[in-house]
Structure 1
Amino acid sequence: MTSIYSNQKSKTLSTFGKYSMFPESLIRHALVAVVNNLEDAHEQIDTAISTAIKESKPVYISISCNLPSIPHPTFSRHPVPFFLSPRLSNQMNLEVAVEAAVAFLNKAVKPVLVGGPKMRVSKACKAFVELADACGCPVAVMPSAKGLVPEHHSRFIGTSVGYSLLIRKEKAIIVQPERVVIGHGPAFGCVLMKDFLHALATRLKKNTAAYENFRRICVPPGEPLSSEPGEPLRVNILFKHIQAMLSGNTAIIAETGDSWFNCQKLKLPEGCGYEFQMQYGSIGWAVGATLGYAQAAKDKRVIACIGDGSFQVTAQEVSTMLRWGQNTIIFLINNGGYTIEVEIHDGPYNVIKNWNYTGLVEAFHNGEGASATQQRFVTVRTEEELKEALKAALGPKKDCLCFIEVIVHKDNTSRELLEWGSRVSAANSRPPNPQ
Structure 2
Amino acid sequence: MSPLPDHFTVSDYLIQRLYEVGLRDVFTVPGDYVARWFDYIDDKARNPDTPLTRIGCRSELEAGYAADAYTRLRGVGCAAVTYGVGAFSLVNPVAGSYVERLPVVAISGSPGTSSTDRPFARTYKILLHHATGNYRADRDAYQHITVAAEIIRDAAHAPAEIDRALGLALAHKRPIYLEFWRNLWDAECARPQGALAVPKLATDQAAVTQAAAAAASAIKAAKQPLFWAGIELQRFGLQDAFKALRDQTGLPYVTSLLAKSVLPETAEGFVGTYTGPSSDYTTYQTVGSADLLLVTGDLLTDDYEGIVEADFDTMIVAYDDTVRIGAATYSAVPLAAFLTALADALKDQPAREPWATKGPATIDPDYKPFPPELVTYARFFQRMETWVDADMTLVPDESSSMYVSCNIPVNRANGFVSQAAWGAIGYASAAGFGLSVADPNARPVVFAGDGGFQMVAQTVSSMAHYGRNPVVFVMENAIYGIEQALTNSATYTDDEPFNAYNKIPKWDYAAFARALGAKAARVSTLEHLDTVLAEVKADRESVWLVQVVLPERDIPSEILRLATNTPPTPGE
State the TM bucket, normalised to the shorter chain: 0.7 to 0.9
1:2 corresponds in structure 2 to 105
RMSD of aligned Cα (Å): 2.9
Question: Alpha-carbon deviation of 1:24?
Answer: 4.4
Query: 1:177–1:121: structure 2 CA closer, same or farther, 3 Å change rule?
Result: farther
**Residue 403 of structure 1, aligned match among 525, 545, 549:** 545
Question: Alpha-carbon deviation of 1:177?
Answer: 3.7
- In terms of mean alpha carbon deviation, does 131-140 or 239-248 score higher? 239-248
Query: 1:414–1:2: structure 2 CA closer, same or farther, 3 Å change rule?
Result: same
**SS across alignment from 2:395:** strand
Q: Is the 1:330–1:403 contact (alpha carbons within 8 Å) kept by the matching residues of 2? A: yes
Query: 1:150–1:107: structure 2 CA closer, same or farther, 3 Å change rule?
Result: same
Aligned mates of 1:262, 1:220 — CA distance in 2: 10
**Residue 78 of structure 1, aligned match among 185, 191, 209:** 191
Question: Alpha-carbon deviation of 1:423?
Answer: 4.8
Aligned mates of 1:91, 1:6 — CA distance in 2: 42
**Residue 394 of structure 2, aligned match among 241, 252, 255:** 252
Q: Is the 1:247–1:270 contact (alpha carbons within 8 Å) kept by the matching residues of 2? A: no
1:430 corresponds in structure 2 to none
**SS across alignment from 2:265:** coil
1:173 corresponds in structure 2 to 316
Does residue 121 (structure 1) correspond to residue 235 (structure 2)? The answer is yes
**SS across alignment from 2:416:** strand
1:433 corresponds in structure 2 to none
TM-score (normalizing by structure 2): 0.65
Aligned mates of 2:480, 2:371 — CA distance in 1: 29
Question: Alpha-carbon deviation of 1:157?
Answer: 0.9
Aligned mates of 1:3, 1:259 — CA distance in 2: 30
TM-score (normalizing by structure 1): 0.84
Q: Percent identity?
A: 23
**Residue 155 of structure 2, aligned match among 22, 38, 45:** 38
Listed one character per residue, the Cα deviations across residues 326-350 of structure 1 (whole Å, up to 9, x for unaligned) are 1001111101111111112241121
Q: Is the 2:168–2:199 contact (alpha carbons within 8 Å) kept by the matching residues of 1? A: no
Does residue 26 (structure 1) correspond to residue 142 (structure 2)? The answer is yes
Question: Alpha-carbon deviation of 1:275?
Answer: 0.9
1:384 corresponds in structure 2 to 527
**SS across alignment from 1:22:** helix
Aligned mates of 2:361, 2:521 — CA distance in 1: 34
1:354 corresponds in structure 2 to 506
Structure with the bigger RCO (C-alpha within 8 Å, sep 6+) is 2
Q: Is the 2:263–2:413 contact (alpha carbons within 8 Å) kept by the matching residues of 1? A: no
> Where does 1:412-431 land on structure 2 (aligned, <5 Å)?
412-423=554-565
Letter in 1 for 2:192: P
Q: Is the 1:128–1:198 contact (alpha carbons within 8 Å) kept by the matching residues of 2? A: no
**SS across alignment from 1:5:** strand
Query: 1:27–1:190: structure 2 CA closer, same or farther, 3 Å change rule?
Result: closer
Question: Alpha-carbon deviation of 1:129?
Answer: 1.5
1:184 corresponds in structure 2 to 327
Does residue 304 (structure 1) correspond to residue 446 (structure 2)? The answer is yes
1:338 corresponds in structure 2 to 480
Question: Alpha-carbon deviation of 1:246?
Answer: 2.9
**Residue 362 of structure 2, aligned match among 200, 218, 221:** 221
Q: Is the 2:393–2:443 contact (alpha carbons within 8 Å) kept by the matching residues of 1? A: yes
Question: Alpha-carbon deviation of 1:28?
Answer: 2.0
Question: Alpha-carbon deviation of 1:149?
Answer: 3.0
> Where does 1:136-215 land on structure 2 (aligned, <5 Å)?
136-163=250-277, 166-167=307-308, 168-185=311-328, 187-204=329-346, 205-206=349-350, 208=352, 211-212=354-355, 214-215=356-357
Aligned mates of 1:87, 1:420 — CA distance in 2: 37
Query: 1:252–1:56: structure 2 CA closer, same or farther, 3 Å change rule?
Result: same
Letter in 1 for 2:249: C
Query: Structure 1: which 5+ residue stretches go unaligned?
Result: 366-371, 425-435
Question: Alpha-carbon deviation of 1:160?
Answer: 1.5
Letter in 2 for 1:80: Q
- In terms of mean alpha carbon deviation, does 313-322 or 85-94 score higher? 85-94
**SS across alignment from 1:143:** coil
2:70 corresponds in structure 1 to none
Query: 1:229–1:181: structure 2 CA closer, same or farther, 3 Å change rule?
Result: closer
Aligned mates of 2:424, 2:161 — CA distance in 1: 30
Question: Alpha-carbon deviation of 1:7?
Answer: 2.7
**SS across alignment from 2:428:** helix
Does residue 314 (structure 1) correspond to residue 314 (structure 2)? The answer is no
Q: Is the 1:248–1:272 contact (alpha carbons within 8 Å) kept by the matching residues of 2? A: no
Question: Alpha-carbon deviation of 1:300?
Answer: 0.7
Query: Structure 2: which 5+ residue stretches go unaligned?
Result: 1-103, 123-130, 278-283, 285-303, 488-497, 567-572
Listed one character per residue, the Cα deviations across residues 59-109 of structure 1 (whole Å, up to 9, x for unaligned) are 12222333313x43xx2x433334334447443333332222222211111
Letter in 1 for 2:527: E
1:268 corresponds in structure 2 to 410
2:183 corresponds in structure 1 to 66
Dislocated runs of 4+, deviation >6 Å: 13-17, 227-230
